[in-house]
Amino acid sequence: MTSRGFLPALAVTAVLVSAAGCLPLATPKPGWRPAWSVALGFPGHSPEAMHCRYVTKIAAGGTRIRAELSDPYPSGATTSFHVRSAAIELSTDSTVSATSAGPQFPLTFGSTTGVTVGARAQVTSDPLPLQVSAGQNLIVDLQVDVGDAPTTVMTTEHTLCRALSDGTTTADVPVRWLSGLLVDGPAVRSITALGDSITEGTAVPTGAYQRWTDYLAAAGSDVTNRGVSGGAISRPGLYHSLDGLTRLRSLVTEPGLTDVVIELGTNDLGVGVSPLGVLVALDEALTIGRSHGLATEIATILPKGVGALPQEQARQALNAVLRGSWLTSRSGVLVDLDAALRDRTAPSRLARPSTPGTTCIPTRRETGRSPAPSLLPSNCLFRVDCFLDSMGQSGTRAAAVGSGPAMTALAGRHR
């Protein structure tokens, strides 16, 4: 068992990506790396002991696995939680039942079955010998006493929690004590995405795996998602989540990480932070990435359809700087999300696909009053491909929208 404290504090026609800075600074090596993660963005408290079962679809395979339990926020007077027991099960789908359908593999912490996780701390289980594969679903089974219960906004994977006192069962709750899974496997490029609701997956159905990180993982990449709805880079998030720099400092210490994609800034601009203020924060983020030998990719800011208002002017000014030498001179790599998804005829708006009631962004998203919007249309998937294709190019290349999915080549570049 190990523990550590948290540190305080595509284009519509084509995307051109420079070769400079596109190769990861950290050379992939065999060993431990993130295979699954979630950002525990908000404090919470559980007034009773719970038995929870979590579906986790891992993005990397290996021969051993470890679980990470985190309490990034103190809550009330307890400022800790105690795990009675933890186990992992192999699963064949994305659903979860109240009882185990197969053998359980118990996790230990310093050779004991239980562990207490203190406020602003993270505990990692002992290595468990278990052969797992990328894309495989695992179920993590936890029994946790009364205490802190950090939460997420979105429930992107199925969960099932039962109160140990009376057996009351609740499905798909956002409470999670589990923050990550590590695997011990071969050398692969390991990417984590630090973002806001665009990355976390606004309105993505639970268990659907339709976030842009899910598409990249399906293409064969080891990519984990640390999106938090309302997240910001220069300040705390809209719903009082930690600022992006503090979140970044905690994740760059993960073993085996080679890349971090930062998709933050729109919420900063939305509350009046200047483009310069966002750039100052991004500059520090790039410094943090370089100090840990990571390739750091920065996404441009998407439009919100606000026309000539100051926020739109600030967005365009910030994106113009990111497209220039400011980013490349700091060894950053551009992911031009704005160029991929904006409306060419009205750059302050997102391009709209042919399916009514949907908006073309890197996840499925509800718009309007449609009670049951369709899944992301195929032309949106092509735009997502171009966004993903702009990461990890080996040289200058055009990625044309409408030319079809670029997943085969993408998977080869990111392995």
pLDDT band at 362 (very low <50, low <70, confident <90, very high): low
Percent of the chain with pLDDT over 90: 48
**At what angle are helices 275-291 and 310-322 packed, to 10 degrees?**
30
pLDDT reported for residue 25:
59
Spacing of C-alpha 151 from chain mean position = 15
Task: Taking residues 377-384, report their average pLDDT.
Answer: 38
Instruction: Give dist(CA 76, CA 402) in Å, integer.
Output: 53
- Check pLDDT > 50 for residue 96: yes
Task: Give the tens place of pLDDT for each residue, 256-274.
Answer: 999 999 999 999 999 999 9
Tell me if residue 186 falls in helix, strand or coil.
coil
Q: What is the CA angle 140-143-145, rounded to 5?
A: 140
Q: Model-level pTM?
A: 0.82
Mean predicted lDDT score pLDDT of the chain: 78
Task: Give buried/exposed letters for 65-100 (b at 16+ CB in 10 A, else e).
Answer: bbbbbbbbbebeebeebbbebbbbbbbeeeebeeee
Higher pLDDT, 389 or 285: 285
Strand partners, 14: none
- Check pLDDT > 90 for residue 236: yes
Task: Taking residues 402-414, report their average pLDDT.
Answer: 28
Task: Taking residues 102-129, report their average pLDDT.
Answer: 94
